[in-house]
Structure 1
């Protein structure tokens, strides 16, 4: 009869596993689709369109007033791709619209849109499906972007540029009717995702030239295309401002729906953040800037305004800012601007997560595989908490060893709770058992586990990083659920090594936990499940040794 029951349970488990596989194929979280090649459209329409209401207006040097908008926003219309300016570096593929000189497309060739797709991940784009662009210009009294006829149309020496050395300069030129020559210059560096954007103003006219530099990011409310898992904690999607008063302030789309954000600060930056990637404007240091958010016609705009500057007749002046479009690479972000690396959001446990990330990165530099690096950091964390875990396991082992005696006391004094409590306390004191000893150490180490969880979630290095065998992307779920099932099995083994709770209802709930956690982890990224699996295996080994020592009387308190 027992053999038949084992066979039936095994068959039921196999059928359930196959059903889960089929359910996931039909209804489970879809893999990130390859990004469609959609016709790029101008952010502003043709040169005869009406003034664009989304641009900030700066009427005074102090920027005290709210940023007003007027008129109707121009409807985006398809444009001839030959009119756009293409720029290629080793890490960036950009399209610049001559009208306004805005970046309306940014692809990252070092990061695929989907595993083995052969297509670059597209961060910025302007098409029928999605709007996410970087805008900049000169507004104010004489700024060409404040012209009632619409955005200025720049000219360039060529329509295609390719980085062939250490740096590449792309100049867009504009001659105004007042005799002011403006060059909008983009400077690219090899291996760098940050782009220097300079405005060289040469006033050959007879009147002073007054203007204000602005930079802003425009995005619609579409979902994060780089969020590759729908289970567990989700990465932040929205804007972030860094000012002298608050070096990291989130302003999400819901906040912008309710009210505008506005702050004045020396230096600082503004960014639009999503899972693994971000775009940011960092104005040149040494001035007082106005930072703001707005929502216009369903589009979210975040950006900065510089102080007003004046170029006298016969004089030249340069104003500048830096634009970043790329991954959350801590090394580059730290070099670009203070606090920009905080966009790699580890939450309130950042002070634990940051050193854990550095340790993970160092292990990877030694072993060369991110899956092995996860195993390595799990072992090191477990070793650091070895004595803390040992206390918990010893307490549970003693509870397990004396469980029959506790059951006897419960049966003997079941009707007299006070007497039973007294006898239990005598047993605890005699055998040096701390009933809470297994709880407190676990609570102490939980912050470390949560911090490591966020490190694995926020590390762009794990995106499309292979492990071994069929696991080719540690940031995606295990397609065959092998790791979650093994993780659930290890949880079940751990329960067998622990004392059975005296409360029957609690005991039944504990037996259900491995099943619940297995189902919960089915769609977690493989890297996170690998961490929990290795952690459970190490805990089983330590707990088994301690249980044997307690049972043989060899363990010391």
Structure 2
């Protein structure tokens, strides 16, 4: 069976899929509702979220007397992060990843701006919040939640050369003597931020309450141009909340937040809560073994920029007068580093979600990484991967090409049978089967290699699309192997390979006329399809096609020589 012919259905489905995704983003997204009056800058309530088994009160947005006081911003710079902390609640409102630029480095722009993960602007809103809520005095207007005004001793903190850790303390105290010291700890070379909320009860009555952490984000804006949506890998990737139950990884896309059946509302032990985007994510990680109550909801759904929330409320804390208690958590804010995240927290590596092709994609990523360690270039590593797969499947593809060559030689005889039996399809089929049996040709012999190739295609697609290591990885004229080929050279090369394959398989004489016409437009169809795929994937298939074409030519030429020698004898 001809390989190009076997890919026809796949190509049509793939093109249709990407076109539908782009069309859905452009035309099926409902227009934003008018923005509600009033500010939503600090909104983070979760209406209807049930309390934890310990009776945690609802977390309100009512800020007490200090709510009108102006907050200030604290900048923290480490070797890998630059973060901004708002003293209003001690929230992390901006995070830049210093080692990851938004665009490839070029001669014209050798130092592009770093990726911004947390952002407190309306269109790209994404913040990490935390706080404490009292159950001993839930009616108190002044509470140390994410709306309380904390005090900072300085406006800038920098991890100095040779310094391994940096502490940033924020303090809050009420009139009754309850004092909370919120300390963020940053570590050199780490994207993990440790949080300690120390509750010192200087009042005359016990304090009881719960610590909570939450991520609040708006859906990122998308281009109104369907062509840009197809070619932008971020528009194809998952965007939304995710969590780990200690056993299972689950996701909730933004579009499903409003569905009551999909909302998260459960007590989980040893889990974590995250917000994901392509290549980067943030996750709140409670202490190991702690049981927290997790929930999701939509904040201000009627506004122009609704915000989506995932929250974890910890167990009840009791602090006697004159005593203190610490509530801790960790925040990961950084890149999706495959193979390294499980060391931060169990299951965190699952944030790189290859879906049903994980069993293929993970080993393939490992092989690519192995080759990259040798050649120090991801483009060369992809070429070595092609050669390795071709070496493993050489005999299988040889069977396919031999079958194609034999079928090509039988085409004139098959066409003669069609002319003899006309519309009698039963007799025609019987005659064809007798011919194939006599000549020892199996028309299905070429199918098995294709069944192997398609999963490899999908697995590699996800590896190249989701692997952070290939982001902005240059090769020859391509500045980024995870983005489409900017000059469409590889799609054209693959189209030429397909034309060469068709030339070696002139089977149109025995083919249905409509199918023969479709075969002629296949190179153009694949050129268009691959124009939107990552350049690394196009590189893989262009090299794979060239090697396959060379193998097919050699086998066909070798069979012709064998036939000539047999006739001469």
Q: 1:210 aligns with which of 208, 211, 214?
A: 208
Equivalent residues in 2 for 1:87-106, closer than 5 Å:
87-106=76-95
Matching residue of 2:555: 546
Query: Is the deviation greater in 293-302 or in 96-105?
Result: 293-302
Q: How far does residue 142 in structure 1 lie from its aligned partner after superposition?
A: 5.5
Q: Residues 88 and 161 of structure 1 are in contact (CA less than 8 Å); yes or no, is this contact kept in structure 2?
A: yes
Deviations 1:41-85 (A, max 9, x none): xx987xxxxx956268999661568957576999x99978xx210
Residue 125 of structure 2 corresponds to residue 131 of structure 1: yes
Q: Residues 142 and 148 of structure 2 are in contact (CA less than 8 Å); yes or no, is this contact kept in structure 1?
A: no
Query: Is the deviation greater in 147-156 or in 126-135?
Result: 147-156
Q: 2:314 aligns with which of 294, 300, 306?
A: 306
Matching residue of 1:420: 428
Q: 2:177 aligns with which of 179, 195, 198?
A: 179
Matching residue of 2:29: none
Give the SS at the match of 2:194.
strand
Matching residue of 1:155: 151
Q: Residues 137 and 214 of structure 1 are in contact (CA less than 8 Å); yes or no, is this contact kept in structure 2?
A: yes
Which whole-Å CA distance do the structure 1 matches of 2:378 and 2:439 have between them? 45
Q: How far does residue 361 in structure 1 lie from its aligned partner after superposition?
A: 1.2
Equivalent residues in 2 for 1:502-521, closer than 5 Å:
502-521=511-530
Give the SS at the match of 1:313.
coil
Q: Residues 100 and 145 of structure 1 are in contact (CA less than 8 Å); yes or no, is this contact kept in structure 2?
A: no
Matching residue of 1:12: none
Which whole-Å CA distance do the structure 2 matches of 1:489 and 1:435 have between them? 25
Equivalent residues in 2 for 1:334-373, closer than 5 Å:
334-373=342-381
Which whole-Å CA distance do the structure 2 matches of 1:275 and 1:528 have between them? 17
Residue 497 of structure 2 corresponds to residue 490 of structure 1: yes
Q: How far does residue 162 in structure 1 lie from its aligned partner after superposition?
A: 0.9
Give the SS at the match of 2:152.
coil
Q: 2:450 aligns with which of 424, 435, 442?
A: 442
Q: Residues 53 and 71 of structure 1 are in contact (CA less than 8 Å); yes or no, is this contact kept in structure 2?
A: no
Which whole-Å CA distance do the structure 2 matches of 1:415 and 1:332 have between them? 63
Q: How far does residue 408 in structure 1 lie from its aligned partner after superposition?
A: 2.5
Give the SS at the match of 1:136.
strand
Q: How far does residue 322 in structure 1 lie from its aligned partner after superposition?
A: 1.0
Matching residue of 2:288: 285
Q: Residues 56 and 135 of structure 2 are in contact (CA less than 8 Å); yes or no, is this contact kept in structure 1?
A: no
Matching residue of 1:241: 243
Give the SS at the match of 1:129.
coil
CA RMSD of aligned residues (A): 3.1
Matching residue of 1:109: 98
Gaps of 5+ in 2: 1-38, 301-305, 565-569
Q: Provide the TM-score with structure 2 as the length reference.
A: 0.81
Q: Provide the TM-score with structure 1 as the length reference.
A: 0.83
Gaps of 5+ in 1: 1-42, 46-50
Give the SS at the match of 2:501.
helix
Which whole-Å CA distance do the structure 2 matches of 1:188 and 1:84 have between them? 17
Q: Residues 123 and 221 of structure 2 are in contact (CA less than 8 Å); yes or no, is this contact kept in structure 1?
A: no
Which whole-Å CA distance do the structure 1 matches of 2:165 and 2:228 have between them? 34
Q: How far does residue 364 in structure 1 lie from its aligned partner after superposition?
A: 1.0
Deviations 1:282-326 (A, max 9, x none): 111122111110111121111211111112223222211111111
Which whole-Å CA distance do the structure 2 matches of 1:534 and 1:79 have between them? 60
Deviations 1:379-406 (A, max 9, x none): 2122222222222222112111222222
Aligned length in residues: 502
Q: 1:474 aligns with which of 481, 494, 503?
A: 481
Which whole-Å CA distance do the structure 1 matches of 2:54 and 2:48 have between them? 9
Give the SS at the match of 2:95.
strand
Which whole-Å CA distance do the structure 2 matches of 1:477 and 1:73 have between them? 52
